[in-house]
Structures are given as structure tokens and as C-alpha cells.
Structure 1
Amino acid sequence: MKNNFFIVIEGIDASGKTGLIELLKSQLELEQNSSIKNYFGEKIYFTSEPYGPNKETKYSQLSSLIFSNCFSSVSEAFLFLAMRSDHLFNFIIPKLQENSLIFCDRYYLSTLAYQAYLKKVELDLLDSNMKYISKGTKPLVTFVLQISKEEHSKHKSHKREDNKYDSVNSFSYDSLVSAYDWAIQHLRESGEEIVLIPSSLSWEEKAQLVISYIERLIAK
């Protein structure tokens, strides 16, 4: 898709995805970052999975069913894919067709990490269904927040998280890192752009890394 400014923010549980997105919202209003605002105007949108752009009721209801742990791993995966299909065709794709900029908290990388690697759902099953529902729509780039084991433990102990994806899918730090490393490799081998955000950067530097990437693209 032409002008596919679809940006995904990923990372393991408690890595700061939601916080980074909130910071991006405020940083994009600054004069120093006006080139992005001037390019897209009001067509800058923020959304998330599995809840959509406005924590829509239909997604929340389905998510509650998934997080009740009463489904098999395969059934859970198909429910997530069903919500993604709806999210794509009712929000993401229409906005991209308007040449909008979209930031999404979680996407297919999380599916690969949780459903394929950690819950052992067949990879080919996920890939084929994802290919079918996306109709060629892929993120322009996926940014992955890195976090040290010490920082992860600290963040987990102080975390207040509305998104139950992390709290219900409770895996160790080492398991999550292995899962995300595997998922990153798979997407890179599939030709997708993945950019790692080092944990050593300040939050302002992390946000600026994302903003600078977009600025370079719109300047071409």
C-alpha cells in the first residue's frame, strides 16, 4: 500500500509501550517536531491491540472472554486474529488510504511471541491467516522497546496496566525475551523492518528516535 505510515510499538510486558505512545502524543505537538504535524495535519491516530482506537466495547468484550482462560491456545489465537481483521478493515486500512499516520500499541509480533513461541500454536497457521486478513497491509516499521531484567522487575512491581494482555499471559522475563527475539527474527526474515530501542536511552530519547525515523521518511 502506498504511503503506508503504519507504525507499531512493541516490547515485552512492562517495557513501557503505553508510556512511550503517550510521550509521542505530547512530543508531536512540539514546534521542534512540526514537520510531522505539517505533513499529516490532523490525520495522526493512535490505536492498540486488542482494544482498538477507543477501547471499543466489542473488543473489550471479546478480550474478556479470551483472558478468562477458558479457550485453547488455537481458539485464543483465532479470536485475536478475528479482532485484528475487524481492526484492520474498520480502522487501520481506511485511515491508511487517507494517507494518515497510525501508531499501534502491539500487533503481529506479539501474536508470534505469545501464540506461536510460548503457546505453541503452529506458525504456518498464524502466518497464513495473517496474510489472508491483512491483504498485504504491513507495518512500515515495528519499534521494539528493550528492557533489562532489573528494570523489568522494578516496572512490574509498580505497574498499573489496563491492558490485560500482559497480566494474564504471565511468563518469566527470560521466556518473554526469548519469545520476542524469535518473533523479531521471523519477521525480519519475512522482510519486515524492525528497529530495536535500547533500554539505555532516556524516554525522551526513545521518543525522538521514533520521531526522527518518521521525519527522515517524509523528507524523501
Structure 2
Amino acid sequence: MTSPSRSRGLKRGFFATFEGGEGSGKTTQIAKLAATLRERGHMVCLTREPGGTPAADALREILLSGRAKDLGAETEALLFAAGRRDHIEGVILPALRRGEVVLCDRFHDSTRVYQGSVGGVAPEALAVMEAATLEGVAPDLTVILDIPAEVGLRRASLRRGDALADRFESEPKTLHEQRRAAFLQIAAREPERCVVIDANRDAETVEADIRAAVLERIASSSEEDTEAKGDVA
């Protein structure tokens, strides 16, 4: 796929997605990274999937409640794709066109893992959905927070407190381990896009590794844009 900052008329902007199992710390780490980037003068758009727009947020409630589960993994994938399409058009592309750094909590890799590798939706079907939904928009960087399923589920339970587990958190540990393996397989297939961070460490160490990876990739992207402008001139 084409980098979004170089497609569909975009002049600049940087798109980073964050993936990983339940309780891997994505939400916390994204918030910390956003604060750091803003301190360094970057405009930051913080968003998530499913969700990001009113329509996608409505789909989020349906998906996480489990009401769509009985419809099957393929229908779930289609619902995620519908929300993602609205999210891209309503939030992600406008932010990138403004030159912002977009930090997204989950994106298409989660569909590949949850509904594809583990859910059983055929890769060919997912490829068709992706082509129609993304239209060439792909992350400049994907940070995969890797953590053993048992540790992540324990963290998720502590975070949740007395609230009920959502559709995905409530599933068996074996499924969570399968998802962990599937994320790592994506990273192995696409090392130029993905970086794996060991999330089973203290939050400060994880934060430092994420910050280093993201800042390095943003700097590299800016250099490529400068060189491209020079070639055009």
C-alpha cells in the first residue's frame, strides 16, 4: 500500500497505528506519546478503532457488546470495514492533509488478526475489503505492543474493575495467545512498516522505546519528503 502522506493529494502528515492484545497498554502509551509529540511542536490527532466518528462509534458499541458475534466473523469484518471507511474519510485523511501526526489505537491489522487469522475469514475476502476500504491509505508505522496473554488479561481485568468484559476480552486465553502470534506474524512479514515493542516491562521503559521508534520514523519521513521536493524542483 502507498503511504498516506504520499497519496490522494496529501503533502505531509504522518500516520502511526498501535496494535496488540488486550491489556497491552496501547491507550496509555498512545496518550503519553501524544503529549511528547505536542511538546515537540507537532500537531497530533488522537483516535481509535472501532470508532473515531459518530457513525463508527455507534458500530463500536454494537461490535464490543457482542451483538454482532452471532452474525459471524465475516459480517463482523464488514462492520469494522464500514466504520473504518467513515473513520478514514472523516478523521484520518483530513488530519493528514493538515500535516498532523495521526495516532490510531487499532486499525486494519486488528481485523486481519481478530476476524482473519483467528476468526477464520479468508485472506482473499479480507484483501477485497481492505482494497475497498483503505483505497491505498496505509500506516507509515505500526507499533505492535507484545505481551503474554495471561499478563494482558490480568491488566485488562484490573483496569476494568467491576465493569463487564467486552466481546473480545471475555474470550478464552487460548484465543488471545493465537492473536498475539498472529500480530507477530504480521510484523515478521512487514518489517519495514512494523516495530514490535516488548510491553511486558515497566511503563516508562516501554514509553521510551515507543518514543524512539516513532521519532526516528517521523524524522526519516520528513527527510524523504524534503528529498522528493528537491527532485521535483
Once residues 215 and 153 of structure 2 are traced to their aligned partners in structure 1, the CA distance between those partners, rounded to angstroms, is 34
Which runs of at least 4 in structure 1 moved beyond 4 Å after TM superposition?
none
**Does residue 63 in structure 1 map to residue 60 in structure 2?**
yes
1:27–1:207 contact (8 Å) kept in structure 2: no
Which amino acid in structure 2 is aligned with residue 116 of structure 1?
G
Once residues 57 and 135 of structure 1 are traced to their aligned partners in structure 2, the CA distance between those partners, rounded to angstroms, is 21
Structure 1 pair 45–177 and aligned structure 2 pair: CA distance change class (3 A): same
1:5–1:140 contact (8 Å) kept in structure 2: yes
Aligned ranges for residues 77-156 of structure 1 at < 5 Å?
A: 77-156=77-156
1:189 positional shift? 2.9
Q: Percent identity?
A: 25
Q: Deviations over 1:112-165 (max 9, x none)?
A: 11101222111111112112221111111111112235522431331228xx9x
Once residues 108 and 184 of structure 1 are traced to their aligned partners in structure 2, the CA distance between those partners, rounded to angstroms, is 15
Structure 1 pair 4–27 and aligned structure 2 pair: CA distance change class (3 A): closer
Q: Which residue of 1 aligns with 2:37?
A: 28
1:216 positional shift? 2.2
2:197–2:206 contact (8 Å) kept in structure 1: yes
Once residues 150 and 179 of structure 1 are traced to their aligned partners in structure 2, the CA distance between those partners, rounded to angstroms, is 13
**Does residue 14 in structure 1 map to residue 23 in structure 2?**
yes
Once residues 80 and 214 of structure 2 are traced to their aligned partners in structure 1, the CA distance between those partners, rounded to angstroms, is 28
Unpaired segments ≥5 residues, structure 1: none
Structure 1 pair 187–4 and aligned structure 2 pair: CA distance change class (3 A): farther
Unpaired segments ≥5 residues, structure 2: 7-11, 224-233
Once residues 84 and 112 of structure 1 are traced to their aligned partners in structure 2, the CA distance between those partners, rounded to angstroms, is 13
Structure 1 pair 118–148 and aligned structure 2 pair: CA distance change class (3 A): closer
1:46–1:102 contact (8 Å) kept in structure 2: yes
Q: Please give the root-mean-square deviation of Cα atoms over the aligned residues, in Å.
A: 2.5
Structure 1 pair 60–153 and aligned structure 2 pair: CA distance change class (3 A): closer
Equivalent pairs counted in the alignment come to 205
**Does residue 168 in structure 1 map to residue 167 in structure 2?**
yes
Once residues 211 and 191 of structure 1 are traced to their aligned partners in structure 2, the CA distance between those partners, rounded to angstroms, is 18
Q: Deviations over 1:14-65 (max 9, x none)?
A: 11111112222333355xxx2xx2xx3xx2110000111xxx4322322233
1:184–1:194 contact (8 Å) kept in structure 2: no
